[in-house]
Chain A
């Protein structure tokens, strides 16, 4: 009977995070030539909720000769325990030290997770710099949505995968068996020459003129890999079931990738293009498999905008007999205001509903191409009130391009009208609660707003104060994102190679778990930017359309001309219809995706 050190039980909270043993863990004892450790630079509870890494984890373990294990960023108490006991960070499944794997892969879901890369490497005894790792350490790999601009971490990563991994990674891992006993550089060279979606940072150089980025040499453009036939792509139904409660503790069936709506602020809407749907029967089989094999009592039908799934009514009809007889609750996250069906909401046990108008006036909603009207908003909220919901949450953004104080006042007006509407209806026994969450817009790469400036501290503070003053009344609560937090995310999302040293410096000053507001300290970054001589104003400031941007050597398939066209339409407050209605010529048709 294996025993845990009693000191660990005394000093570490929730140790189940670090020792695996979950139901559904694949066979770790099979013969293997390749060992991969898949890491999420965040806690177990967050990392285990990530669908992408779950897919890759099970996919890798189905490959002959490949064993894939997991590791998440340990909380500070376990990190301290490891250090004080001279132990290094290990995988969950077999407690193997990370440095003994062939590959250690990190999935970066948000930029503020970068410093946890150093945190996990340091705990593993693996050098930070790619150039210092030599032949004795594993390949450090990066993937995930942040890798559409991976330049801030270029010198720490050996292999960067841009895109969806289900089809290419099995090939890479099979290829690696031939290179296992050869020099690491030979394998890197092979990857560089063979796969367009693989970026090997050490083979690329930035060219500058008068301090400005002007090019990347004569190396190939990195093309984001997109699966063409999602319906037949790998999707694990016998998934690992967490032993402790995680953030999204439910079965997750993916309906489709991409989004029709082209909201101009939304990076996911552009980098995950085009829309690729699974067939209704495929989703049905996945859903039943996940619930039967996992024992879940909640099923989430996921996508960027689940209400847009063409087969949704048919799917719900087919799922209902199964979910009702098995006492499974269906949840549909990311419902748009124009696709909300009150009839569906009433079968759920949820006590609150969330809506995302994003902007307070129709003009600004047209600028950002949100493509919803006031009628959509009030119609959906009215249905929710009619169904008995009395707690509603609204997401808005401030700092959007062309925004004025009239638009900010628009948020106030909209919220007050919703409040009025509630009281104009027959009363519910419960009192009304409206939560208004206001985030600060960050112009991200590969969106039509990628050339826009991140709003100034003075403007954002003024808008936040205005909203607080106007909405600090009975039944309404307002929350917002800290400016420094959003500013740091903007810098890391838009910056280039100049940020690499800053990130490491910030880590050395104590930055880690920066996506957690209780751990984020802007001072670490501020000092790092100053120490490394980085002008963050030039990074978050307005860009010219002719500027070379740090991510211009990567293509996600959407033409720059299309983004410029969309930006111009934004300034005219002209909307572009969803691409389910008409092709807007974003460029993906050239890649053979859209009909």
Chain B
């Protein structure tokens, strides 16, 4: 198994999850590595992705795993064949599929929003915290205390948060939108970058590197 950690920034961050999958499959086909496919009437490439990224968010920590073998320099080949905004950064060779889609449970985001650092400097994670948001035309109020693990202000504008990610999820843009409405901040010019993910409390890179242990 070959797992590639890649960043997904503008303009690739405008690609929905399914189109990202197609783009990754095409990159891999262009590389020309020996790749395994599923069996049956309509075989498809055995390529697995980490959980979907919200459209428009930039990320420095996406993962794809492909059931393949190659002797080539994967990073340089991948990058030479990738569309603008998708860049491989690290490669892991493992005996089995790390199943990043199922194992990643937390993500760390850096949010840059004018005045947010000051507004949330006293936020305490773990306490009941009800946010409201629009979903399918309706306002939803939800306690997300179990989905916010950490909120740290770096300065008046920059905040680093660790949120639930994967099956139990809190979208960073949803939380930010709520905060902006709550504190009267400008959501439109704010920026979120997904910087790290974790499998439980273990950073995903470390988890994949030591897959045999887990």
The reply to whether the CB of B213 lies closer than 8 angstroms to some CB of chain A is no
Judge whether B115 is part of the interface by a CB distance below 8 angstroms: no
The answer to whether B26 touches A21 (Cβ under 8 A) is no
Bound: A20/B15 CA distance, A: 11
Whether B19 and A296, one on each chain, are in contact in the complex, defined by CB atoms closer than 8 angstroms, is no
Contacts of B10 in A (CB 8 A): 1-4, 19, 21
Contact A25 B30 (CB under 8 A): no
Is there a chain A Cβ closer than 8 Å to B92's Cβ? no
**How large, as a class, is the contact surface on chain B?**
35 or more
Binds B, one of A120-128, A238-246, A310-318: A238-246
Question: Is A97 in the interface zone, CB < 8 Å from B?
Answer: no
The residue from A5, A21, A327, A349 contacting B85, defined by CB atoms under 8 A apart: A21
B203 within 8 A of A: no
> What 0/1 pattern do residues 301 to 330 of A give for CB contact below 8 A with B?
000000000000000000000000011000
Q: Are B37 and A327 in contact (CB-based, < 8 A)?
A: yes
Q: Which of B9, B22, B43 has the most chain A CB within a 10 Å cutoff?
A: B22
| CB of A14 closer than 8 Å to a CB of B | yes
CB neighbours of B29 from chain A (8 A): 295-297, 326
| CB within 8 Å for A241 and B83 given contacts A4-B10, A16-B11, A297-B29 | yes
Specify which of B14, B16, B26, B43 is in contact with A19 (CB 8 Å cutoff).
B14
A1-39 interface with B by 8 A CB criterion: 1-7, 9, 14-16, 19-23, 25
Q: How far is the CA of A349 from the CA of B23 in the complex (A)?
A: 22
B181 within 8 A of A: no
Whether B19 lies near A294 (C-beta < 8 A) is no
Q: How far is the CB of A593 from chain B (nearest CB, A)?
A: 39
* 42-57 of chain B: CB within 8 A of chain A: 42-43, 55-56
A residues near B187, Cβ cutoff 8 Å: 6
Interface positions of A (Cβ within 8 A of B): 1-7, 9, 14-16, 19-23, 25, 241, 243-245, 292-297, 326-327, 349
Distance, CA A19 to CA B55, complexed state (A): 14
Q: A349 to chain B: which residues have CB within 8 Å?
A: 41-42
User: Would you give 10 A-B contacts (Cβ < 8 Å), ordered by A?
Assistant: A1-B58, A5-B188, A6-B173, A15-B55, A23-B81, A23-B84, A292-B30, A295-B25, A295-B27, A295-B81
A23-B82 contact, Cβ under 8 Å, with A6-B187, A244-B19, A295-B30: yes
- Assess whether A4 is in contact with B56, with CB atoms less than 8 Å apart: yes
Q: How far is the CA of A7 from the CA of B188 in the complex (A)?
A: 6
In the complex, B205 has a CB within 8 A of chain A:
no
Per the bound structure, the CA–CA distance linking A6 and B187 in Å amounts to 7
Contact A292 B32 (CB under 8 A): yes
- Interchain CB contact (< 8 A) of B188 among A1, A6, A15, A294: A6
Interfacial chain A residues near B28, Cβ < 8 Å: 295
Q: Which 9 residue pairs across A and B have the least CB separation, nearest first?
A: A295-B26, A21-B84, A21-B11, A295-B29, A9-B56, A295-B30, A16-B14, A23-B83, A2-B10
Alpha-carbon gap, A19 to B27, bound state (A): 20
Give Cα distance in the complex from A294 to B58, angstroms. Answer: 25
Task: Name the B residues within 8 Å of A14 (CB-CB).
Answer: 16
- Judged by a CB distance under 8 angstroms, whether B157 is at the interface is no
**Residue B12 CB within 8 A of the other chain:** yes
B193 within 8 A of A: yes
Given the complex, which residues of B lie within 8 Å of A243, measured CB to CB? 11-12, 15, 19, 23, 83
Q: Are A6 and B11 closer than 8 Å at their CB atoms? A: no
B1-38 CB contact bits vs A (8 Å, 1 = yes)?
00000000111111110110011011111101000010
Q: Which of A2, A241, A244 contacts B15 (CB 8 A)?
A: A244
Q: Smallest CB–CB gap between B126 and chain A, Å? A: 28
Which residue of B is nearest A25, CB measured?
A: B84
Instruction: Report the tally of A-B residue pairs with Cβ distances under 8 A.
Output: 90
Chain A residues lying within 8 Å of B37, measured Cβ to Cβ, are 327
Q: Is B146 an interface residue (CB 8 A)?
A: no
B190 located at the interface, meaning its Cβ lies under 8 Å from any Cβ of chain A in the complex = yes
Least CB distance, B68 to chain A, in whole angstroms: 13
Besides A3-B191, A23-B23, A349-B41, 13 other CB < 8 A contacts?
A2-B11, A6-B173, A15-B55, A15-B56, A16-B16, A19-B11, A21-B85, A23-B82, A245-B19, A294-B26, A294-B30, A295-B28, A349-B42
Residues of B close to A7: CB separation below 8 A = 188
Residue of B with least CB distance to A327:
B37
CB pair A16–B32 under 8 Å, yes or no, is no
Is the pair A1, B9 in contact by a Cβ cutoff of 8 Å? yes
Output the nearest chain B residue to A6 by Cβ-Cβ distance: B188
C-alpha gap A192/B80 in the complex (Å): 44
For the complex formed, measure the closest distance between the CB of A96 and the CB atoms of chain B, giving whole angstroms.
15
Contacting pair B188 A20 (CB below 8 A): no
Q: By the criterion CB–CB under 8 Å, are B11 and A20 in contact? A: yes
Measured in the bound complex, the distance between the Cα atoms of B23 and A295 in whole Å is 9
Residues of A within 8 A of B58 (CB): 1, 3
A253→B187 CA distance, assembly (Å): 47
B56 contact set on A, CB distance < 8 A = 4, 6, 9, 15
Compute how far the CA of A3 lies from the CA of B191 in the bound complex, rounded to whole angstroms: 7
Contact in complex: A327, B43 (CB < 8 Å): yes
* Interface contact A23-B26, CB-CB below 8 Å: yes
Residues of chain A within 8 A (CB-CB) of B81 are: 23, 295
CB-CB nearest in chain A for B85: A21
Question: With a CB–CB cut-off of 8 A, which chain B residues contact A296?
Answer: 26, 29
* CB neighbours of A15 from chain B (8 A): 14, 55-56
Cβ distance A94 to chain B, nearest Cβ, rounded Å: 12
Is the CB–CB distance between A241 and B26 below 8 Å?
yes
Whether A4 lies near B14 (C-beta < 8 A) is: yes
> Is B188 touching A21 in the complex (CB atoms < 8 A)?
no
Bound CA–CA A1/B23 (angstroms): 21
Chain A residues within 8 Å of B85, by CB:
21
B22 contacts A245, C-beta separation under 8 Å: yes
Cα A6 to Cα B186 in complex, Å, equals 10
| Chain A residue nearest in CB terms to B41 | A349
Chain B residue at minimum C-beta to C-beta distance from A9: B56
CA distance A519 to B27 in the complex (A): 36
> Which of B26, B173, B187 has the most C-beta atoms of chain A within 10 angstroms of its own C-beta?
B26
Interface residues in B167-214 by Cβ distance below 8 A to A read: 173, 187-191, 193
B42, B55, B193: residue with the most chain A Cβ atoms closer than 10 Å: B55
Contacts of B18 in A (CB 8 A): 245
Contact A16-B43, Cβ < 8 Å, known A295-B28, A297-B29: no
- Measured between beta carbons, the chain B residues less than 8 angstroms from A294 are 26, 30
B164 to chain A, nearest CB (A): 22
- What are the residues of chain B within 8 A of A19 when measuring CB–CB? 10-11, 14
The CA of A292 and the CA of B27, in the complex, are separated in Å by: 10
A2 to B12 Cα, complex, angstroms: 11
User: How many Å lie between the Cα of A85 and that of B34 in the bound state?
Assistant: 49
Contact residues in B for A23 (Cβ distance below 8 Å): 23, 26-27, 30, 81-84
Question: With A16-B11, A25-B84, A295-B81 known to touch, is A244 a contact of B16 (CB < 8 Å)?
Answer: yes
Measured between C-beta atoms, what is the minimum distance from B54 to chain A in Å? 9
In the complex, how many angstroms separate the beta carbon of B201 from the nearest chain A beta carbon? 28
B26 contacts across to A, CB distance below 8 A: 23, 241, 294-296
